[in-house]
Amino acid sequence: MQVTLSICLIIKNEGKYLSRCLYSIKDIASEIIVVDTGSTDNSMLIACEYTDQIYSYKWKDDFSSARNFCLDKAEGDWILVLDGDEEVDRKCLDLLKEIIQVQDIDVYFVTINNNPDNTQEIMAISDLKPRLFRNNKQYRYKGIIYEQIMDSILGSNARIEIARDIRIMHYGYVKEDSGNRHRLMRNTDLISKAWCREEAVKHFYLGREYYLHHKFADALVHFLVVYDQADLQADYFPELLRSISVSLYMLDRNADALTFIDNAITFFADMGDLYYIKAVIYKNSYEYAKAYEAYKICLTLPDQSLNYYSVYCLHQDKIYFYLGGLAEYFMDKDQALHFFLESLKQNPYMLDSLRRIIAILNPRVNPEYTTLSLNRVFDLSDQALQIDMALMFYEEGAYQLALNNINKLENSAPISEYIRAIKGACLLRNKQYTEAEEELQNISSNKNLYISARKYLLVYYWLVQDCRKAAGCLKRIKNAGAEPAINYVLNLLISGYSGKTNTGQDQAYNLAKQIMEMVVEFDDIDRVDEAFQNLAPILGERPSRLLAEIFYKYEKYELAEKEFNYLLEKDNTDAQAFYYLGKTFWVRGDLHGAENYLCQAINKGLETPKIRWEVARLYQELAIESLREGLKDCPDSEEMQKLLQELKDKMLEV
């Protein structure tokens, strides 16, 4: 018999996110039950597009009451509880359908990813909550705010499992707006009402509410009131320690945060989240060795006690990923690869780890070795993986490898327009112009892909000086409704006319940079100069670091040297310019020139493990060169021959 799933939501003014929420679960829901507690926006209209089971509920300042009213309407075998500002990760829908078929489980804890788009690592956090459970009349919520269902679940001897791979994305506290301000006022009033006679608990939850709204100074005031009472046995005390540590960090009080954490560790030495936060603080303070050790401690701790309500240290995929990045910084590439692979073992969706593995293998320079290495670890016949790798190979400039992957996909089934767009871009950058033009011209059904394809074609037509076709592409891009920044940059390229614009500078700059990379790849220096002049309103006048680094990236070393010298004429303390000049001289075989510039880069402050490693490697090459010169005068010197061979062997080991 088919197992049915009811989706239960209570909402109020969730129009900003509700459509995304309901769309994410429409294919797995047997029924969608929406209980509205007084929306004045378009939430009800959005809900009507997905369900006819919509109920109005008079708000009683009691979240549990509204939740339970919604649960009472459910008729499915299972219930998934969502909020209107959440969505289910569509990658895990098949797994969700699978686990509710299991006979001997009643309740699943699932992962809630809070603030998934937040660029602050420490705020993009996840926790586990019992959101998926059988439709059992005994399972009901308690508490007027921060409502809990676990008491009733535990009281019924339910069989509980953790389904960490079922992920719900929560966006509610992402951005400050009037809705969030209203939510903050409402919740703080309810907290004061719920715990009016429990001062410590009241301050803890008030602090928590301000914390969730990223008002860390206000949160800290309440948290410290609780901390000063020092009730180590309180259920919420581990969360209090974590929240104070993060609040201090978010207020740029790093030294205070580290002191606080060290003191907290004396009481909770095995609480992994404290070490994790410590690692983040060290990493963002550029104390990488200390960050490296703190992350490693997270992996050596015993299983975390349930009363810690761990947020960070349970996510070993992230810890391994950050360790991999630090190992890269310390030039330990083998260890970095190990950590990134461990990250993928923990979480196959951790594509950033796969991206770093591919970058380390350097597929543009080492295509065969890259393919061989990846074959040893991954099942490269997996179609989803082929799609991901095709894009990553393209990003790394390994266009033929990307095409190889796409061709495998195309041989087994028709490819999507998205993959076709990548294929067209690869063909174009691989200088297979006729095939590229055919692929890109056939992209038409998706607006964004259509615009992207025409952007590539426009640049190609401009390069081959087909002004009529380039102008035609620009017209089609405008008619398709492209962003003003795109129209502005492309118009600059083909006409050199700037005019006035209010376009977003970041978007315009990124597109201009992409265009310059394509022009450099086409290897026409005159067109490079013309493109740079046309895009000067965005890129700025020479000397340009961007142009210098693009020339270096695409191995135009003489041109790169010229641009880096321009930079040094403007600023003779530019450590990066000295560094790249040193690398340029090195690759061209001038080892003494390379030594001079690299040492100057270090003297100007660019002292990292990478540059120290490179200088050591350069000295090995200088020693080999010196021994070879010596052997010209003394060809029978066994000592010099022996030392030369030892150095060569050492070079091969690295």
Q: Mean pLDDT score of the chain, rounded to an integer?
A: 89
List pLDDT tens digits, range 368-384.
999 999 998 888 778 88
Contact of 209 with 184, CB cutoff 8 Å = yes
User: In this predicted structure, what is the pLDDT of residue 165?
Assistant: 84
The DSSP element (H or E) to which 110 belongs, if any, is strand 107-114
The counts of H helices and E strands in the chain are 32, 8
User: In this predicted structure, what is the pLDDT of residue 499?
Assistant: 61
Residue range 380-398: average pLDDT? 88
User: In this predicted structure, what is the pLDDT of residue 125?
Assistant: 66
Tokens of 418: 């998205």
495-509, 551-565, 625-639: segment of lowest average pLDDT: 495-509
Give the residue, 582 or 544, on which the prediction is more confident: 582
- Contacts of 143-151 with C-beta under 8 Å, sequence gap 24+, read 143/63, 143/64, 143/194, 144/61, 144/62, 144/63, 144/64, 144/65, 144/190, 144/193, 144/194, 145/63, 145/187, 145/190, 145/191, 145/194, 145/205, 146/63, 146/205, 147/63, 147/64, 147/67, 149/67
155-164, 236-245, 307-316, 501-510: segment of lowest average pLDDT: 501-510
Output phi, psi for 595, to 5 deg.
-60, -45
**Angle made by CA atoms 140, 143, 147, in degrees to the nearest 5:** 70
The DSSP element (H or E) to which 647 belongs, if any, is helix 638-653
Cα separation, 386 vs 157, whole angstroms: 45
List pLDDT tens digits, range 572-629.
999 999 999 999 999 999 999 999 999 999 999 998 898 998 998 899 888 888 888 8
Cα separation, 411 vs 425, whole angstroms: 19
Name the nearest CA neighbour of 271 among 230, 231, 243: 243
Of the pLDDT bands very low, low, confident and very high (cuts 50, 70, 90), residue 127 is: confident
Tokens of 483: 């962003």
List pLDDT tens digits, range 324-382.
999 999 999 999 999 999 999 988 878 899 999 999 999 999 999 999 999 988 887 78
Whole-number Cα distances in Å, 436 to 414, 430, 454, 462: 17, 9, 11, 15
133-137, 261-265, 417-421: segment of lowest average pLDDT: 417-421
CA 180, distance to chain mean position in Å, is: 25
Cα separation, 301 vs 113, whole angstroms: 23
The alpha carbon dihedral of 75, 79, 81, 86 has a sign of negative
Cα separation, 123 vs 131, whole angstroms: 22
User: In this predicted structure, what is the pLDDT of residue 423?
Assistant: 95
Of the pLDDT bands very low, low, confident and very high (cuts 50, 70, 90), residue 500 is: low
Cα separation, 585 vs 23, whole angstroms: 56
- pLDDT greater than 60 at residue 191: yes
Give the residue, 651 or 638, on which the prediction is more confident: 638
User: In this predicted structure, what is the pLDDT of residue 102?
Assistant: 92
The pTM of this model reads: 0.79
Backbone φ/ψ region at 395: left (φ over 0), alpha (ψ -120 to 50), beta: alpha
Residue range 106-110: average pLDDT? 94
User: In this predicted structure, what is the pLDDT of residue 116?
Assistant: 61
User: In this predicted structure, what is the pLDDT of residue 120?
Assistant: 65
- pLDDT greater than 90 at residue 34: yes
List pLDDT tens digits, range 428-455.
999 999 999 999 999 988 899 999 999 9
Cα separation, 328 vs 5, whole angstroms: 46
Torsion angle, alpha carbons of 51, 57, 63, 69, to 10: -70
Residue range 284-290: average pLDDT? 93
Can you give the length of the chain in residues?
A: 654
- Counting residues of the chain whose pLDDT is more than 90, the rounded percentage is 62
Domains, the chain? 5-170 (3.90.550.10), 178-318 (1.25.40.10), 347-544 (1.25.40), 570-653 (1.25.40.10)
Tokens of 113: 């990813």
Cα separation, 64 vs 66, whole angstroms: 5
- pLDDT greater than 80 at residue 194: no
